[in-house]
Structure 1
Amino acid sequence: KQGSTLRPSSFCAFQKLGGKGTVSAAGALVPSGLQTWLSPACCPHSNSCRLFYPEDPIKIVRGQGQYLYDEQGAEYLDCINNVAHVGHCHPLVVQAAHEQNQVLNTNSRYLHDNIVDYAQRLSETLPEKLSVFYFLNSGSEANDLALRLARQYTGHWDVVVLDHAYHGHLSSLIDISPYKFRDLDGQKEWVHVAPLPDTYRGLYQEDHPDPAGAYANEVKRVVSSVQEKGRKIAAFFVESLPSVAGQIIPPAGFFQEVAEHIHGAGGVFVADEIQVGFGRVGKHFWAFQLQGEDFVPDIVTMGKSIGNGHPVACVATTQAVARAFEATGVEYFNTFGGSPVSCAVGLAVLDVLEKEQLQAHAASVGSYLMELLEEQKAKHPIIGDVRGTGLFIGVDLIKDEATRTPATEEANYVVSRLKDYYILLSTDGPGRNVLKFKPPMCFSVDNAQHVVAKMDAILTDMEEKMRSCETLRLRP
């Protein structure tokens, strides 16, 4: 940008072009031929691979706890990285990986204590029924395996998902992710979409006497429609808390009623915990437990936070489902899944969660952050809804209180301004208007106060200077 210091990577690009360039009408320095040099044909990465803050990206070289550091030493507060679950570069996790790497890292065709110990530790966090564990490398692999398990166990093919769902980047998972397939090849005939149980702007909202039952009946209608066509349901896939759909909290009891309809159709219930498991929700270790202690999925998938940045994932299921999978006679094998290093890392993450009491920490800090954000909602009309649990929180920005129209441009502006204060936040939801909080679990009370104070300053300034939507024209 004009007036900014060229960073080393930018300087190399400028030198290669061999010209001084020009200043565009927008005030940006545009070296001669830059667009050609950065075209997909000669750029190191495709335009389909996006960076955060593409207009002014950050080069991150170090992380520690809830902080990231750029090449100039600037410290950024990370409010969105749920992969670094117990904190960036946690010393105990790094040490566990290093020590095991020095001894052995091989595939799981040999006996080794780590994989058995890790499966045992995971089983202690889950309902007794979920007693078989498959280890993999990523959440996408986990959901793909869950799909295979469901189809083999039921003998059926079709899948029911929620609108705006995202379950991974493999071809099989893009097919069951409306968030992706609507921009690609469209909906397959074996995929069936039920309404998102969004009680803020969905079909049944906060004033409905039984939103859980109403949304479950929508799933029942989908199942009946599938059966009328002579098709059969293999599985209902759901993120225990839909994330890219806008940090949605399904009404309690919804899963139980849906499971009844799915089981009645011969299908299984798959809970995708990849974004929200391992104590993030505070009240429970797993987000599906928010629905009630009586609810147990048939399959649970894990990824991201399970390894604190190390590529490890897991599928937990029942003995019955596992036996049906074995009956194919085709072995399941994953070269790196369940390696001694991956399991050492997984065990270390569980140790840190326990020793630092991060689940309880998420509950208390998340509750405090929600209180601060609710105060901002009362002060700033552009905040239409604050929802969440633990350290999984969404702030829904709206243009108009009556219609609840997403304030997309305004949300992007807030995120951009927060970056100026060295705070990293992002947006989600179909309207890209929901500010999402999914920080490392060590995120503190002081961090919460700091972020909300800066949000308050930005929103106050927007109300004074911007008139882009009705909610910014309203005076508190």
Structure 2
Amino acid sequence: MEQLPKDETIALRNKYIGKPCQLFFGQDPIKIVRAKGQYMYDEKDEAYLDCINNVAHVGHCHSKVVEAGYEQMKLLSTNNRFLHDNIVICAKRLVETMPEKLNTCFFVNSGSEANDLAIRLSQIHTGNKDIITLEGAYHGHLTSMIDISHYKFSLPGGIGQKDHVHVASSPCTYRGKYNTLNHKLEDICDLYTEEVREICENIVNKKGTGVCAYISESMLCCGGQIIPPPNYFKKVYAHVRAHGGLCIADEVQVGFGRVGTHWWAFQLQDVVPDIVTIGKPMGNGHPVAAVITTADIAESFRKTGVSYFNTYGGNPVSCAIANAVLDVIKEEDLMGNAIEVGNYLFQECLKLKNRHSSIGDVRGVGLFLGLDIVKNREKRTADPEAASFIVAQMKEKRILLSVDGSKNNVIKMKPPMVFSKANVDEVVSMLDRILEQLEQTSPLSRDTDKIPNGVERKV
């Protein structure tokens, strides 16, 4: 199909697409027409280095993934109520990456659906309703997920907190309720987990029931690229289970080897959830996701007599693509790349922090990293304006970053797993230049024209 001029695309979007549908860089959106590896190309064929697209996990338009979908689509594309090899092979391969007791799969279309089903399974298995979620959490766009996503329901125009939803503090050691400014690092984990225990007790004492589930991303993305302190999940899971609840690990954004050392980020804390939800990277851009749980929890669902039917979840094409993604992760040693390049990125960002007082904290594991941008490092005063400015200037230099966190001051990096050390050098070099200029100017005088020209791009 012939490409429309960018201004016509914008006009049509404004006319026909719902206004709440958000675009990256909404005031000056980029029109992307093709992508390959870690690069995206606009209508002028200018390359943008993608540092944020954790959907294109093994690289945009990977030839093996595209071919797998194409070949299967030529043969059969139907729903999962017909017997087919692809779904059972995919389920087997996913289970083999999990702890032994997580041995049963349900296939869905998205991370939102996966988390919705996880809550449904928890309600059925426990007979309880009350959910514990985290401050700043986001688990999807379905109504049931907005209910438990503090990131959304707490907004001025949000729905507010429902009676069955309980919010625990985000376990951030840098900016959270309990942080290293005011507490010893070794005490912080107990302070956060004690809060979860108290929530559990309050549910039992006030409602006369038990907990339904505790749900958390294994590393918090929208909450600000947060790595929970060691043993946090181990202690939280013990409290939740002691009060009748299940523990759900949301791996939709952080799974499939992004941490490098393990397939799943929850494995960093040596815990075994009762339910794991996966999505985004699973299809490398194709809509496919899954819930992986225990045989006992699945049996509770079966006993209701209500069968589970998802028209497209686990269809032959989706599972062919998911199997190809698993192949590529192994064949190209992308977990090894996440370790090597991720460590390099972390160390180079620490050097940036040493040179620039605007960086208050660098945190991350593998190809998952956040820069906490501050006005005052000693007081850890968040600087959302500076963070947004940096992202905007990086975009002008055709490097794509994004901002998130409770104060909108954390620059996020979750690039495709094919990210290279050369890419790190390009990002860090440009950040260095922009931060230097930023720290020499007042907020009112910050202007695109004052940012140095970019380094030479090598695509």
Pairwise TM-score range, normalised by the shorter structure: over 0.9
**What CA deviation, in whole Å up to 9, does each residue of 1:11-70 have, x standing for no partner?**
688xxxxxxxxxxxxxxxxxxxxxxx89x9x72222211111122111100000000000
Select the residue among 169, 188, 207 that pairs with 1:211.
Answer: 188
Write the mapping of 1:280-299 to structure 2, written as runs, cut at 5 A. 280-292=258-270, 295-299=271-275
Q: CA deviation at 1:225?
A: 1.5
| Equivalent in the alignment of 1:123 | 95
Q: In structure 2, give the amino acid aligned to 1:10.
A: D
**What CA deviation, in whole Å up to 9, does each residue of 1:107-154 have, x standing for no partner?**
111211111111111111001100000000000000000000000000
Q: In structure 2, give the amino acid aligned to 1:188.
A: K
| Equivalent in the alignment of 2:326 | 350
Select the residue among 186, 198, 203 that pairs with 1:226.
Answer: 203
Q: Distance in 1 between matches of 2:188 and 2:281?
A: 30
TM-score normalised according to structure 1 size: 0.89
Q: Distance in 1 between matches of 2:25 and 2:177?
A: 33
Could you tell me which runs of 5 or more consecutive residues in structure 2 were left unpaired when the two chains were aligned. Answer: 446-459
1:50 corresponds to 2:27: no
Q: CA deviation at 1:203?
A: 2.2
* Change beyond 3 A, Cα 1:249–1:468: farther
Q: In structure 2, give the amino acid aligned to 1:439.
A: P
1:99 corresponds to 2:71: yes
Q: CA deviation at 1:280?
A: 0.3
Q: CA deviation at 1:383?
A: 0.2
1:461 corresponds to 2:420: no
1:255 corresponds to 2:233: yes
Q: How many residues align?
A: 436
Q: Percent identity?
A: 52
- SS of equivalent to 1:463: helix
Moved over 4 A (4+): none
Q: Over the residues paired in the alignment, what is the CA RMSD in angstroms? A: 1.5
| Equivalent in the alignment of 2:245 | 267
Q: CA deviation at 1:10?
A: 1.9
Q: Distance in 2 between matches of 1:440 and 1:9?
A: 26
| Equivalent in the alignment of 2:450 | none
Q: CA deviation at 1:468?
A: 6.5
Q: CA deviation at 1:227?
A: 1.6
| Equivalent in the alignment of 2:127 | 155
| Equivalent in the alignment of 2:81 | 109
- SS of equivalent to 1:209: helix
Q: Distance in 1 between matches of 2:28 and 2:80?
A: 44
TM-score normalised according to structure 2 size: 0.93
1:321 corresponds to 2:297: yes
**What CA deviation, in whole Å up to 9, does each residue of 1:344-397 have, x standing for no partner?**
001000000000000010011010000010001011001000000000000000
Q: Distance in 1 between matches of 2:87 and 2:5?
A: 44
* Change beyond 3 A, Cα 1:12–1:235: closer
- SS of equivalent to 1:152: helix
**What CA deviation, in whole Å up to 9, does each residue of 1:68-120 have, x standing for no partner?**
00010100000000000000000000000000001111111121111111111
Q: In structure 2, give the amino acid aligned to 1:366.
A: G
| Equivalent in the alignment of 2:7 | 10
Could you tell me which runs of 5 or more consecutive residues in structure 1 were left unpaired when the two chains were aligned. Answer: 1-6, 14-36, 470-476
- SS of equivalent to 1:336: coil
Select the residue among 15, 24, 36 that pairs with 1:64.
Answer: 36
